[in-house]
Structure 1
């Protein structure tokens, strides 16, 4: 029954893509992030829904008469350079066939990220993308929160099977990344019932992250909460809510959860933490041996650990987005990855400065601010988790490019004819009227 319902939903929406190509982006994000087909049990489970939607979206992009230029901003250029470099590292990979399979998955994400930048062109479409992303993960956040309450925190929360976020650590980091964006939607929502719905979804996502038993996600939550409070326009109110909710949620969790989190301070006595350090050293040794290309995708194997790891018998995945990229794509790949993060942060900062004193663009300043909070949560939590190719951060990066374009277009409409190009670094302030 689930297979039939999902098929009817997707098939009924496909014709809309031909008239409105951006609908294809929403469907792609929904399917790639939520993986609704993994909730079925029949033919729909393994059907390539994302590929179908992507194909129709690309065809609609080609035949559409709507504007569809790709702005060659520094972020876009680095994304393309990173994609090309991964092709190089795959050609030189230790396991070329397995690496090629992973490259195909990552290329789809990066391609659709660029297509997102091309097709999402208005404020309403950008908000639609936000709601789609948040809704896709909120489903599992609410589901996981209810599961945590029902089990008394005694069992771990997991993500959808056969997806980037199936693991308890990975799905927890996804929740950490999306909560600041949900807070932006909460702040901008005027319907009281919708506000309550978003607030409950945020709380349940936070509870799900705790219920995952992920120590890396807990560190990411801590960093995200601190910056979220600092960026909040109502620090007293938000601080009181956090002071009540956070201790209550932590005290709700059982003793075995507390014991696991306590191992953060005694990592040298914890086998899992020691295994991560072993994997990090292995990645560094591999990159040092081949600083240009690293080992390609899928380097976390016994044969490679036997060569580069201090303890060749303790085989782990990277458990760090930074060491993951370093080991798989060398120091060049890591430099491109970090440059992408830096450029995204810098562009968001420019948007904040430009729009901070403008009522008409206050929403853009707030969204850019919450995007930065999201990036902090992902960047800190990701230091302990292997999610370098997870969709959401790339879509968030795309939103920064889209948001920057919308801000520039708004400012350009007000600029006098023949005026110089708007600076991307100096804030622009709309004159505030004085009333006497």
Structure 2
């Protein structure tokens, strides 16, 4: 039954994706991030839905009369440069076949990211993209949070099978990244039941992240909460709530969870932590030896560790977005990846600053703030995970780009005296907007 429902939904969306490619982008996000077909047990499990949607969407991009110009911004230019650089480093990869296979996957993600930037133009489309991302990850977060509560945290929460976030650590980071987007959608939603549902889903996603037994997730949640507290105009009440909430959450979890989290302070005696440090040192040594091209995709294997790692007998995955980019694509690739994050953060700060005194753009201010909060969680949690190519981070970058373009357009029209009605805008339901810089 699930196979039939998923197939009907996807096939039914194809005419709309062809006529309005931005709808195809939303379907791509849903299929590629949520992997709903992996919730079935029949023919749909391995059916190439993503490829079909991508193909129809690309045809739609070619034939549509809708605006489809990619915004030329420092973020989009750097993203293209990073993509081209990854293609170049693959030519010099230690393991060409494995690297080519991974490059094919990464190029698909980057292509659809650029298509997202081309087709997502209005506030309505931006918020539909946010909803697609929230539903895709929030489904697993809500379910995982309930599972954690019902089992008393005695079992580990895992991600959808066959996806980039299948592992417990990876799906925990996904939950962290999406919670701020939930917060924004709750702010702008006019339906009280939707707001209530999101108010329940957010703590459940946090519970699922904790129930993943991921140490990186714990640090990511702490970093997000601290950032929100720093930027909150009223610090006393939120500070008291956080101080009281954290001990309650920890006390709820079983002893084996506490013992695992305690290894953060005793990493020298933890084999997993020391293995990650060994991989990080390999990345630095390799990048210093091959500063331009690194070792290419999928380099984390025994022979490379034998040549570059302090402990050649302990091969590990990178377990860090930073050292993964450094090891696989050299210092140039690392700098391009870091520049992407810096430029996205700076654009968010610009949006917040420019919309401070414009009530009609408070939605953009709230969204940019929550995107920055999401970046904080991903940047901290990602320091311990190999998720350089996690597609959601790039879709959120395009969300920031699209929001920035709308703000720039409004400011330009305001400067020339042109009226801009924002026909698809809605005022924030909150009396006072979140602030961040």
Distance 1:233 1:110, change over 3 A: farther
Q: Please state if 1:111 is matched with 2:108.
A: no
Q: Please state if 1:120 is matched with 2:106.
A: no
Matched residue count: 418
Distance 1:3 1:234, change over 3 A: farther
Q: Normalized against structure 2, the TM-score is what?
A: 0.93
Judge conservation of contact 1:70–1:114 (CA < 8 Å) in 2. Answer: yes
Name the counterpart of 1:215: 215
Q: Please state if 1:392 is matched with 2:379.
A: no
Q: How far off is 1:307 after superposition? A: 1.1
Equivalents in 2 of 1:231, 1:2: separation in Å? Answer: 44
Equivalents in 1 of 2:314, 2:151: separation in Å? Answer: 32
Equivalents in 2 of 1:85, 1:260: separation in Å? Answer: 38
Three-state SS of the structure 2 residue aligned to 1:67 is coil
Q: Please state if 1:295 is matched with 2:295.
A: yes
Name the counterpart of 2:335: 335
Structure 2: runs of 5+ lacking an equivalent: 419-437
Name the counterpart of 2:170: 170
Q: How far off is 1:150 after superposition? A: 2.2
Name the counterpart of 1:254: 254
Aligned Cα root-mean-square deviation (Å) = 1.4
Distance 1:197 1:246, change over 3 A: farther
Name the counterpart of 1:158: 158
Equivalents in 2 of 1:233, 1:194: separation in Å? Answer: 26
Equivalents in 2 of 1:32, 1:12: separation in Å? Answer: 17
Q: How far off is 1:188 after superposition? A: 1.9
Equivalents in 2 of 1:250, 1:194: separation in Å? Answer: 29
Name the counterpart of 1:430: none
- 1:52-71 superposed matches below 5 A: 52-71=52-71
Name the counterpart of 2:375: 375
- 1:262-301 superposed matches below 5 A: 262-301=262-301
Three-state SS of the structure 1 residue aligned to 2:45 is coil
Q: How far off is 1:200 after superposition? A: 1.0
Equivalents in 1 of 2:228, 2:50: separation in Å? Answer: 33
Name the counterpart of 2:144: 144
Three-state SS of the structure 2 residue aligned to 1:316 is coil
- 1:11-160 superposed matches below 5 A: 11-160=11-160
Q: Normalized against structure 1, the TM-score is what?
A: 0.93
Equivalents in 1 of 2:273, 2:253: separation in Å? Answer: 22
352-361 vs 35-44, which moves further: 35-44
Q: How far off is 1:201 after superposition? A: 0.9
Name the counterpart of 1:426: none
Name the counterpart of 2:355: 355
Equivalents in 2 of 1:145, 1:332: separation in Å? Answer: 40
Three-state SS of the structure 1 residue aligned to 2:70 is coil
Cα displacement string for residues 325-363 of structure 1 (whole angstroms, at most 9, x for unaligned residues): 101000000000001111111111110100011101111
Equivalents in 1 of 2:53, 2:409: separation in Å? Answer: 30
Structure 1: runs of 5+ lacking an equivalent: 419-436
